[in-house]
Structure 1
Amino acid sequence: MTINEHITHFAGLPVVTFDPATPPADPAAKVAWRLHVEDDHAGDVFAVLVASWLDTVDPASVQALVVGDWGEAWETDFPVQVLVDAAPRLTNLRAVFVGEMTFDECEMSWIQQPDITPLLTAYPALEVLRVRGAISLHLQPVRHTGLRELAIESGGLPAHVTQAVAASDLPNCVHLELWLGTENYGRDTGVDDLGPILDGTRLPALRTLGLRNAETADAVATALATAAVVSRLEVLDLSLGTLGDDGAAALLDGQPLTHLRRLDLHRHYLSDAMMARLPAELPGVDVDVTDQQTENEHMGRYVTVGE
């Protein structure tokens, strides 16, 4: 799978691209505004676009923001300070997606990201933060009582980012999604780095845990088999990675999973027998084992999004 289409909805709102040449009919429209620099420009082009947007829409009405290419995103970090400076005007902003680009605009593993902590600090009422791309991405351990959903999509997640998430105090976060990726594209996150998340000492409100796109999916599944956090989950998502029979068997042979509402394993390397065994042993659980893969003769198993 490559990401070849833009999202159409975000945070429950339709996505509308802001065009400074065509002012919106309703400046206070209940939409998720998308800001995107069409041409390959760096420098202050994105800042100019944001300024135009803020002067055109009703900033106090903005609830959700989707940021596409800010200009040569493969070479230039997202200019987070632009949004930090806009915080006094964006008083009702509740959801932000940074880096919503298709593969032909910028491969996920090429997207340059900054230290994203100032965004969380500037918006204490932010409820949803989704970040795509992890090159140069940093996060400082932070306390944020507003955040309900945190997702970091990557082709290779650095351990220091995972450790910062695990060390953060997010008492109301119900959804955590980490795309772990592959070592070839920067992943050095190991199962030990997930420890504070898996052992239940963090994220007391967590109900959905996604450890997706993982080259180490079998090891992650084996750790989850005895992880304390699982007992309070409603959704467990290990999709898009290299999960095989060993990891699935560890899950089934570990702690009970029948309390789950959904177990998402789609895009996997399970055998036909294991694909039949999982739903049979987990009655009442919505088990997704669609998109079965076959190991490549030369490459073996590979994640959905590497580059």
Structure 2
Amino acid sequence: MSFSQHATTFAGRPVVDAQAGEPLPEVDAPAAWRFSFWDFDGSTPEGLDPKFAAEFDRFLDGIDCSAVHALVLGSWGYAAFADPPIAQLCAAADRLTSLEALFLGDILSDECEASWIRQDDITPLLEAYPRLHTLRVRGSEGLRLTPVRHEHLRSLAFESGGLPAGVVRAVVDCDLPALEHLELWLGVQNYGGDADVADLEPLLGGGRFPALRRLGLRNAEIADRIAAALAGAPVVGRLEELDLSLGVLDDAGVEVLLAGQPLTHLRRLDLHHNFLSQPFASRVVEELPGVAVDVTDQQVEQEWGRYTAVAE
């Protein structure tokens, strides 16, 4: 799998593109604004791309910032070299006073592979935007987070080909009383995904995030070990949705999961794009009547092994 299409909706709103240098399109309904500036001529310096910074400032000058509730940021120059505009976003917090949802890195594979996308410490964003209820981040090169308390964050997602264990532990250690949706694309060790089940134990033990109802541990090289841990994890009992998609989960891993605690209370179980055999995929659906089970797009192991949907 590669990221081949930009987000068309975000935080329940249609995405409207703001083209650098072009007049802003007119909108007659609530929208998520998307801003992107891709530029690479071989001379782009490291750090914040000055061309992006200037164009983003022009965008902010041309829009009613107080009416921006959702913002999608695509390429910030060439994201393999340029730093994300976190400081610039934080500096604009006194203008973007209504911002509630932010997608940092809506970048396609042909613009920059996910594993190449440079990130940074995202803690200042959570501190600068106390009203934020949705944060989605793509890319993990240089990604950092310090455990923080945030009163209003309801949805947090990290898309990566390899999520560092330090980031996983920091997420689990955050104090997020309103968090309902958590999505971690754990990825593979070769691309920095060195987290293991032990890093998730405080979460799986049910002692974190009292409002959590939707949990995604996706794109995981350690999918079978995660399934085994979830078989007896207290957090599962209060979930409505469990997402283990995009990984290398096989029949044995799902069998351990099914042999554990009941899953019939779930509204949805997402196992798509794994390595289940067709007979076993059908068995999962049959054993969980009333649960919307997605077992589509199962993969077949090749001679070179199994791969998560997103790595590079």
Q: Tell me, yes or no, whether TM beats 0.5.
A: yes
2:219 alignment partner AA: N
What is the deviation of 1:27?
A: 7.7
Q: Distance in 1 between matches of 2:55 and 2:184?
A: 30
**Aligned residues of 2:214 and 2:242 also touching (Cα < 8 A):** yes
Aligned with residue 288 of structure 2, among 259, 282, 285: 282
Please name the residue that 2:13 is paired with. 13
Alpha-carbon separation, structure 1, partners of 2:81 and 2:39:
14
TM-score (norm 2): 0.95
- Partners in 2 of 1:231 and 1:204 — Cα distance? 12
Q: 1:49 to 1:301 in 2, by over 3 A?
A: same
**Equivalent-residue separation in structure 2 for 1:277 and 1:248 (angstroms):** 10
Alignment of 1:196-215 (within 5 A): 196-215=202-221
Partner letter of residue 307 of structure 2?
Answer: Y
Q: Distance in 1 between matches of 2:98 and 2:126?
A: 14
For structure 1, list consecutive stretches of 5 or more residues without a partner in the other structure.
Answer: none
1:1-307 map, 5 Å:
1-24=1-24, 26=26, 30-40=30-40, 41=44, 43-297=49-303, 299-307=304-312
Distance 1:116 1:221 in 2: 29
Provide the C-alpha distance between the structure 2 equivalents of 1:107 and 1:28, rounded to a whole number of angstroms. 34
Report the 3-state secondary structure (helix = DSSP H, G, I; strand = E; otherwise coil) of the residue aligned with 2:194: coil
Q: Kindly state the Cα deviation for residue 194 of structure 1 after the two structures are TM-superposed.
A: 0.6
Amino acid at match of 2:174: S
What residue identity is the alignment partner of 2:35?
L
Structure 1 stretches of at least 4 aligned residues deviating more than 4 Å after TM superposition: none
Q: CA deviation at 1:29?
A: 6.0
**Contact 1:113 / 1:135 at 8 angstroms: preserved in 2?**
yes
- What CA distance in whole angstroms lies between the structure 1 residues aligned with 2:101 and 2:236? 26
In 1, Cα distance between equivalents of 2:273 and 2:27: 41
TM-score, reference length from structure 1: 0.97
Matched position secondary structure for 1:52 = helix
DSSP 3-state at the match of 1:18: strand
Is the contact made by 2:33 and 2:70 (CA closer than 8 Å) also made in structure 1? yes
Is 1:35–1:49's contact at 8 Å kept on the other side of the alignment? no
Q: In structure 1, the residue corresponding to 2:5 is in which secondary structure? A: coil
Percent pairwise identity: 57
- CA drift of 1:46 comes to 2.0
CA–CA distance in 2 between the matches of 1:300 and 1:27?
A: 48
Assess, with a 3 A threshold, how the Cα gap between structure 1 residues 171 and 76 changes in structure 2: closer, same or farther. Answer: same
Contact 1:29–1:61, Cα closer than 8 Å, also in 2: no
**Residue ranges of structure 2 left out of the alignment (5+ in a row):** none
Q: Deviations over 1:136-186 (max 9, x none)?
A: 000000000110000000000100000000000001010000000011111
